[in-house]
Amino acid sequence: MDSVGAMTGRADLRLGITDVAPVVSCGSFSARAVVGEHVPITATIFREGHDAVAANVVWSAPGEDGDAGPLRRLEKYGEQPDRWLTTVVPDREGRWSFRIEAWSDPLATWRHAVEVKVEAGQGAEELANDLEEGARLLERVAAEAGDDWRGRVTAAAEALRDTSQELTVRIAPALAAGLQRYLYEHPVRELLTSSPRYEVWVDRREALFGSWYEFFPRSEGPVVGGIPTHGTFATAADRLPAVADMGFDIVYLPPIHPIGTVNRKGPNTAQFPGGNPHEIGPDDVGSPWAIGSAEGGHDAVHPQLGTMEDFEAFVERTRELGMEVALDFALQAAPDHPWVEAHPEWFTTKPDGTIAYAENPPKKYQDIYPVNFDNDPEGIYAECRRVIQVWIDAGVTIFRVDNPHTKPLNFWHWLIWDVKQSHPDVLFLAEAFTRPAMMHQLARLGFTQSYTYFTWRTERGEIEEYGRELATNSHYMRPNFFVNTPDILHESLQFGGPPMFKIRAVLASMLSPTWGVYSGFELFEHVAVKPGSEEYLDSEKYRLRPRDWAGAEASGRSLAPYLRRLNEIRRAHPALQQLRTLRFHQVDNPNLLCFTKTDPGSADAVLVVVNLSSHNTQIGTTALDLPTLGLDWHERFAVTDELTGARYDWGQFNYVELDPYREPAHVFGISFPRPVQFPPPVD
């Protein structure tokens, strides 16, 4: 028997414990949560026969074993008869852990047996053994009870043995609600079986919830005589109050390092994938992602932007306004980067002796050399860790990592967790528009957040499918929904008109706890460099692009007030600050999308209906799944439109009419009289 158990698995598993969650790759990586988040822990638990089973979770804080804490019992969950759930709330950052304990519950088995036998009309003689069994179980509880409860438990045991009383009188003390609650919290546990211990890494709140704003400091210089001048950290700081006023939390900066001069790209390079569009002049600023020149590399600041002290002042000003800086971390080099001369082995040398530049046919990036991690991994690892520390010391707490899918996975796993050891508050966003398997693996191994396919999900069916996928995997993959980027101008924005900008902003900000905007979105910038391209005309990647922010808002040509309102709504509703509870609901018009998010820690919920067509009014009727909101099918509830202030009385079926030129969406805030629990699992 023992040898068979050793060959086929654990022999000590008296009860079945399977499908434990949240678990990532069978426990190879940590699941994720943030401080204050309600984290659902679930498992399938079963045993042979018909005796009752129960379970609890042992939830351990960093550096603790958790066994000394109160008993955290799991409850039956969803439609599956053997699925169980409990919720834990971590209160600090770090590496938490948990394990499931399943056990036979003789008290519950006894209570059920007595209740059904009494209901069937059996008398005291037929229940004699049951009554004695109950008395013995209660004596076991009394032996461990405190002074406040020992007498009451003992009295209930004595009552079960009191043959002078009627049966109902004998069992009443043991079945009393108060005592049953005490027995629930202090059970008799038999056949105790434990699962393996699993880890949950807990980040600060900003790892899950935040609003990002990307802009190029170099475009924030004054325009003199109609000619833009190169911005500095000081002039860029003047833009920060407007960004804060729109409600953004994170200011994301593209690379701020010296830009290479060799093979520098000029304006509208995307029109000419094989080379530069014209002779590059001394005023062509080049791409910030072509990092490094004689003026320095990844650990230096572009001289035209200022000094390291100027950057630190910019970071401090950002903090004063209630925001923080995210800095681009792009592991590549311009041909004149100091690395190229000092460490040519860090790059790929072609048979003709030249160093290979980056290519994504038909595009050629002659101004960028990819790093080859195979030749000197130890040296490259050490240098990357040193560079990261330079910027952490300068006040950076978030890194947006460029193209991490083109670097080794084991490198990222090592770098991220090495940084976390000494700086657990540092976050990493993976900009990896690549195959799903790679995107998910980057998230599993340590990236805090992930870029997603949201930009290309525009139809209702594909939005719903993708939303369910992300919600299902939210225990390790946290999405960041950017509506646009410097090189992603989706055709929906090119041809959808101003209403589409509102539609995409509502979808991104309401569906995902974290979303992002690249500057110019609020000015409805929508012209591509050529038909079929997602590159902006006059792309800011290759030239200065000053904008008249104040003039646009004063004349009503700015979406800034709308973005401000969306971020206000997000901050006011805890339901929008998470992804796990996202649920989609039926609407009889495929151009209308309806979804809800609830907060398990409060009575807060948000219901959103969006017109996906930017050109036509859409009419439809919702069919809400009210039990996912904690309501019965017949109940009605009050809703307030957070965008317009309108109030409605809603139920399961509701008429909707949305004109995109007036308001393409309803964002309804709902407050229920009771907290909403985690809805059933996503299929």
Could you tell me if residue 446 is left (phi over 0), alpha (psi between -120 and 50 degrees) or otherwise beta? left
**Hey, how many other C-beta atoms are within 10 angstroms of the C-beta on 320?**
12
**Close Cβ partners of 395 (under 8 Å, ≥ 6 residues apart):** 312, 315, 316, 319, 325
> In 3D, which of 557, 556, 567 has the Cα closest to residue 508?
567
Pairing of strands 449-451, 427-431: parallel
| Token output for 420 | 């976390």
Q: Which residues pair with 33 in a beta bridge?
A: 202
Amino acid at 628: T
> In 3D, which of 437, 500, 509 has the Cα closest to residue 479?
509
Residue whose tokens read 């929508």: 526
Tell me how far apart the alpha carbons of residues 254 and 517 are, in angstroms, rounded to a whole number. Answer: 13
Tell me how far apart the alpha carbons of residues 178 and 74 are, in angstroms, rounded to a whole number. Answer: 20
Tell me how far apart the alpha carbons of residues 610 and 506 are, in angstroms, rounded to a whole number. Answer: 8
Q: Is-catalytic flag, 431?
A: yes
Does residue 522 contact residue 560 with C-beta atoms inside 8 Å? yes
Amino acid at 631: L
Residue whose tokens read 């002039």: 235
Does residue 415 contact residue 388 with C-beta atoms inside 8 Å? yes
Tell me how far apart the alpha carbons of residues 496 and 592 are, in angstroms, rounded to a whole number. Answer: 16
**Close Cβ partners of 541 (under 8 Å, ≥ 6 residues apart):** 269, 287, 288, 289, 486, 487
The one-character DSSP state at 623 is E
Does residue 429 contact residue 437 with C-beta atoms inside 8 Å? no
Alpha helices in 446-559 (DSSP H): 460-472, 491-495, 497-511, 549-554
Is there a cis peptide before residue 531, judged by omega within 30 degrees of 0? no
Q: Which residues pair with 95 in a beta bridge?
A: 201
> In 3D, which of 366, 368, 428, 433 has the Cα closest to residue 392?
428
* Catalytic residue from among 37, 93, 284, 402: 402
Does residue 440 contact residue 477 with C-beta atoms inside 8 Å? yes
**Hey, how many other C-beta atoms are within 10 angstroms of the C-beta on 356?**
12
Output the known binding site for alpha-maltose 1-phosphate: 265, 332, 367, 403, 541-542
Tell me how far apart the alpha carbons of residues 597 and 512 are, in angstroms, rounded to a whole number. Answer: 10
**Close Cβ partners of 447 (under 8 Å, ≥ 6 residues apart):** 401, 404, 412, 416, 428, 429, 430
Tell me how far apart the alpha carbons of residues 266 and 188 are, in angstroms, rounded to a whole number. Answer: 75
* Catalytic residue from among 203, 431, 525, 604: 431
| Token output for 176 | 């009393």
Alpha helices in 210-320 (DSSP H): 233-237, 240-245, 308-320
**Close Cβ partners of 586 (under 8 Å, ≥ 6 residues apart):** 594, 622, 623, 624, 625
| Token output for 490 | 């989706």
Output the known binding site: 265, 332, 367, 403, 541-542
Tell me how far apart the alpha carbons of residues 642 and 282 are, in angstroms, rounded to a whole number. Answer: 51
| Token output for 611 | 């017109």
Q: Which residues pair with 84 in a beta bridge?
A: 43, 76
Q: Is-catalytic flag, 402?
A: yes
Tell me how far apart the alpha carbons of residues 613 and 116 are, in angstroms, rounded to a whole number. Answer: 58
Residue numbers annotated as active site? 402, 431
